[in-house]
Structure 1
Amino acid sequence: MKTLRLLTALALGGGLVLAGYYWHSNGAGWLAEADISSAAAAAERSPLYYRDPSGAPLWSAGPKKDDRGRDYLPVYDDGAAVTPAPPKAQAASPRKILYYRNPMGLPDTSPVPKKDPMGMDYVAVYEGDDTDDGTVKLSPGKIQRAGVKSEPVARRSIRVSVKAPGTIQLDERRVSVIAMRAESFVQKVADVTTGTRVKAGQPLMEIYSSAVASAAAEYLATITSKTVGGVEMYGRGSRQRLVNLDVPESVIAEMDKTHTAPVAIRWSAPRDGVVLERNAIEGMRANPGDVLFRIADTSVVWALVDVAERDLGNIAVGQSVAVRARSFPGRTFTGTIAVVYPQMNRDTRTVRIRIELANPDAVLLPDMYVDADIDTADAAPVLAIQDSAVLDTGIRQAVLVDKGEGRFEPREVKLGRRGGGYVEVRHGLADGEAVVTSANFLIDAESNLKAALKGFGEAASQATDAGPGNATGDHK
């Protein structure tokens, strides 16, 4: 009963003693009697100052923590420092410092603390952090503070969009010219002007030519002659003479039907299109070779686009192209690449390509400015990573492979096409491997990546023969 009262009193007073241990009610748990005595003795004295717990020559006038979060130790007038008993979970000895490395990532190490020429302290490398497998290890705190993000390598289609300016031109295969092949006189011109749309066979003008009249009379004489010998052969020759004078086929057919030679020959439009040029005037004399009408079919036009030399490797015949005319900003015309011209403009370093465009409503006019957007995407997906994952040294490209558990491996890669924020990886990575896409340059500075990249070109035998002392310089 007395024992029960004693335990009750101790519990109400804030503690409980049991088998050499004391239970503290403030949440500290069980404390040994020796710790209680040491703490009580320390509480009766006032410390003179506080010193660094690792023994370094650092002092403080008041309580303080070091960079590892440990409390400075109080020093009393007798020179003794009270060292608190660490909890069992923290009783492990501190990690061993192997060496100190340059804070700017340069391949320079030191066995003792030092400063660089800018006054920055060298960074300690602890046992377990220095790996010989080519990887770099960072603490979870540093990874979180740096905002490191990784993304697995996957296969996707690389969309490389090549943009180039150009102009609209007529399809030269769809342009017709009406010119006289013999001396002629224009007797009448139809109500057709420049810009008028005409249909194939529509009358344009009537002309008189003595050469055409003579050939027509000769042809009629042969087809109406009753002579049997050689008539057929002679008739074919005289007809060919009319064809050579460019007499329309419809006029010759009418002569075959009526057996009459017209005084004036009616000339008609050879195709559907727009009259681009009219030089015919009633009563004028036309010499051989004079162009009287020029007609073009504008239902299909060309876009002649100048592509930069650097983009030529992505251009091929048959690729789809979206063309936007500056006169119609909200409209897109779709065409395909028909020809890549085999000439380079040495002044502008561009190559001209021809894009065929359908122009059913004739809104695309010759010499109109356009902008072409060439889609060079390949239907076959390729291994690709984000552009931000690449560390480009100017001579070689590398990425940081996330090996897990805070380890990152610098690896050289061979790249291909770029587009849409991604770049093709042709060598160096496998499907599914994770690469760092964010804060990789911070890891570069933190992990002395430049020194690791410097050794990429060394042979495997040299890397095996080089010991830890050779790799780190001063430390062993």
Structure 2
Amino acid sequence: MRRHFGLLVIGLLTLSLALAGWQCSKEEGRGATDKPPKAQEATGARQKMEGQTEVVEKWTCPMHPEVISDEPGQCPECNMDLVPMHEGQTHQPMEMDEKRGEEVKEWTCGMHPAIRSEEPGKCPICNMDLVPVETSETGALMIAPDKLAGVRVEREELSYLQLVREIATSGRIDYDERRVRYVASRVSGRVERLFADFVGINVREGEPLLEIYSPDLIATLEELKRALEASELGIGRTSHMTALAEAARSRLLLWGLSESDITEALESGGAYELTIRSPIAGTVIGKSAVEGKYVREGEKLYVVADLSVVWLIADVFEEDVGKIQIGDEVIATTRAFPNQTFHGNVAFIDPYVDERTRSVRVRLEIHNPDLKLKPGMFVEARIKVPVNRYAVTFWTCPMPPGVKDAKPGECPECGMFLEEVPGGGVLAVPSKAVVFWGDVPVVYVERKPGEFVPRQVEIDPVAVDGQTRGDYYPVLAGLMPGERVVTEGSFLINSQARLTGTAASAYGGALKVEPSQEPR
């Protein structure tokens, strides 16, 4: 009896333990089900890592799905922790990358947007990974008209200009040797009177300088007078008297007397002084004549120089000599007259180089109408050298600017008359329109009102417009005639593009360089 009772008790205890175990298992399952999703993910991931539920064979980066690893770790691109790949996900990143690769045609650097490449890689400047430029991105910066009204934004239409570069030099003013005259006495005699009695006086052409009493002159006048009287009275042979008169008249003319002077001397009948006159209009820069001094035939009395045109003797460095030519325009300035410029041109280039200074002496002919430039004065000068000196005149169409012809006519594409571009014309962009992204020059082109597109350009060193004196860059590539570029306000627009990210997202198509139509 007791034995049966003991077996019954043991059976009940066993059943109770079984029920208690089943209840605990149920509660544990319900608790796992009630966990939040993030906790479930963590539990599932931990179970997978511990190999309790699922064995993870592949790990990937959520930011760079092309990165796949057989072991957990960090992404080599962004250093994020790799996450496990589930079944069915193995080929998804590859499909996305293939689709993305088909769309991406150009790659750029987020920090240096001027860098472009047709293949992915590293930025040569900062070594960052290049990012794709989507084909749908236009790169245009849109600014509302009401916002533009509050900002000074000016545009300029590109055209061909006569650009020059300036070679700076300096030197001193000297007399133009071709405009200097020496005044000498043609007869022997005594200086009776001085009209130009000091150095520096300005004289006109033909103005009297001095009078000379010459016995030889008086004797010749008397000889002429007697020969003429004898010829009129018929004394002696008429032909002989006429010959004597002509010989005397010729000597007087050689001594500087004019026909009117000879007539006046014959009519006066008394002493006659020879008047010596200035051969040119200018300034007396030398004088040796003194009243009462006896002078010989051929003795120098005055030196007269025309200072309306002077020489500037300047030195040009050896490397710049090949750029200049005779006739090139020159602009000169001096500290004596800081608000005035003097104009001229290159008159002569010495045929040798100074071995000590490695420079070549150049004579610049400077116009000096007010006689402000004085010989010996120190002057600075700029020689204008045409950028495109040897370019010939051509004709182009204002609508399709790529059309060029060597002769006038009609455009074969639109029928408009071609416009003449004078020889030496260069496609130019204002210097203030160019902003630099590092070493890369960029210009903002106005595609339509309020829409500005950054454009990478190829330019030559800055030059000067010969008409407006403005600074311009000769364009080699990237722009076309007739395009409107931002001049005033380009820096503000560039800053706005960087702040909004417009520039960084559109450097591909926006910076595509097209060949310019510069005349070669």
Q: For the Cα contact (< 8 Å) 1:222–1:235, is it kept in 2?
A: yes
Among 175, 178, 183, the residue aligned to 1:170 = 175
Alpha-carbon separation, structure 2, partners of 1:351 and 1:279: 36
Offset at residue 267 of structure 1 (A): 2.6
Q: For the Cα contact (< 8 Å) 1:220–1:259, is it kept in 2?
A: no
1:160 match: secondary structure: strand
Alpha-carbon separation, structure 1, partners of 2:269 and 2:88: 127
1:98-118 CA deviation, whole Å, 9 max, x = no partner? Answer: xxxxxxxxxxxxxxxxxxxxx
In structure 2, the gaps of 5 or more residues are: 1-32, 51-58, 62-67, 99-117, 122-127, 134-157, 390-422, 442-457, 465-471, 481-520
* Letter of the 1:168 counterpart: I
Alpha-carbon separation, structure 1, partners of 2:191 and 2:425: 65
Alpha-carbon separation, structure 1, partners of 2:461 and 2:41: 71
* Letter of the 1:139 counterpart: L
Offset at residue 230 of structure 1 (A): 4.1
Offset at residue 161 of structure 1 (A): 0.8
Q: For the Cα contact (< 8 Å) 1:335–1:355, is it kept in 2?
A: yes
Tell me what 2:425 maps to. Answer: 381
1:456-475 CA deviation, whole Å, 9 max, x = no partner? Answer: xxxxxxxxxxxxxxxxxxxx
Seq. identity, %: 26
Alpha-carbon separation, structure 2, partners of 1:138 and 1:225: 117
Among 334, 337, 340, the residue aligned to 2:343 = 334
- Quickly say closer, same or farther: Cα 1:419–1:207, change in 2 above 3 A: same
Among 257, 275, 280, the residue aligned to 1:271 = 280
Tell me what 1:213 maps to. Answer: 218
Do structure 1's residue 242 and structure 2's residue 252 form an aligned pair?
yes
Q: For the Cα contact (< 8 Å) 1:160–1:417, is it kept in 2?
A: no
Do structure 1's residue 139 and structure 2's residue 148 form an aligned pair?
no
Alpha-carbon separation, structure 2, partners of 1:235 and 1:424: 78
- Quickly say closer, same or farther: Cα 1:197–1:417, change in 2 above 3 A: same
* Letter of the 1:160 counterpart: R
- Quickly say closer, same or farther: Cα 1:84–1:430, change in 2 above 3 A: closer
Tell me what 2:209 maps to. Answer: 204
Alpha-carbon separation, structure 2, partners of 1:231 and 1:341: 58
Do structure 1's residue 72 and structure 2's residue 81 form an aligned pair?
yes
Where in structure 2 are the equivalents of 1:72-471 lying within 5 Å? 72-73=81-82, 83=84, 85=86, 91-93=92-94, 128-129=119-120, 139-140=130-131, 157-190=162-195, 192-226=197-231, 227=234, 228-247=238-257, 251-255=261-265, 258=267, 260=269, 262-377=271-386, 378=389, 380-382=424-426, 419=463, 422=473
* Letter of the 1:251 counterpart: D
Alpha-carbon separation, structure 2, partners of 1:234 and 1:296: 39
Q: For the Cα contact (< 8 Å) 1:158–1:417, is it kept in 2?
A: no
Offset at residue 321 of structure 1 (A): 1.4
Offset at residue 208 of structure 1 (A): 1.9
Tell me what 2:44 maps to. Answer: 41
Alpha-carbon separation, structure 2, partners of 1:86 and 1:128: 32
- Quickly say closer, same or farther: Cα 1:91–1:195, change in 2 above 3 A: same
- Quickly say closer, same or farther: Cα 1:128–1:207, change in 2 above 3 A: closer
Offset at residue 58 of structure 1 (A): 9.0
Alpha-carbon separation, structure 2, partners of 1:381 and 1:211: 67
Alpha-carbon separation, structure 2, partners of 1:356 and 1:279: 29
Alpha-carbon separation, structure 1, partners of 2:91 and 2:249: 115
Scaled by the length of structure 1, the TM-score of the pair is: 0.53
1:125-178 CA deviation, whole Å, 9 max, x = no partner? Answer: xx9548xxxxxx972489xxxxxxxxxx99665421112212222233332222
- Quickly say closer, same or farther: Cα 1:262–1:170, change in 2 above 3 A: farther
1:241-279 CA deviation, whole Å, 9 max, x = no partner? Answer: 1233344665334235x2636343233333322221222
1:333 match: secondary structure: strand
Q: For the Cα contact (< 8 Å) 2:60–2:84, is it kept in 1?
A: no
- Quickly say closer, same or farther: Cα 1:365–1:250, change in 2 above 3 A: farther
Offset at residue 368 of structure 1 (A): 1.5
Q: For the Cα contact (< 8 Å) 1:220–1:255, is it kept in 2?
A: no
Could you say which structure has the larger radius of gyration?
2
Instruction: Tell me the number of residue pairs that the alignment of Structure 1 and Structure 2 aligns.
Output: 321
In structure 1, the gaps of 5 or more residues are: 1-21, 26-30, 60-64, 74-81, 97-126, 131-136, 143-152, 390-398, 400-412, 433-476
2:301 match: secondary structure: strand
CA RMSD for the aligned pairs? 5.1
1:31-75 CA deviation, whole Å, 9 max, x = no partner? Answer: 9xxx9855433468999xxx997559996xxxxx534236324xx
Alpha-carbon separation, structure 2, partners of 1:353 and 1:169: 12
Alpha-carbon separation, structure 2, partners of 1:220 and 1:343: 60
- Quickly say closer, same or farther: Cα 1:422–1:296, change in 2 above 3 A: same
Alpha-carbon separation, structure 2, partners of 1:315 and 1:339: 11
2:252 match: secondary structure: helix
Scaled by the length of structure 2, the TM-score of the pair is: 0.49
Alpha-carbon separation, structure 2, partners of 1:52 and 1:287: 114
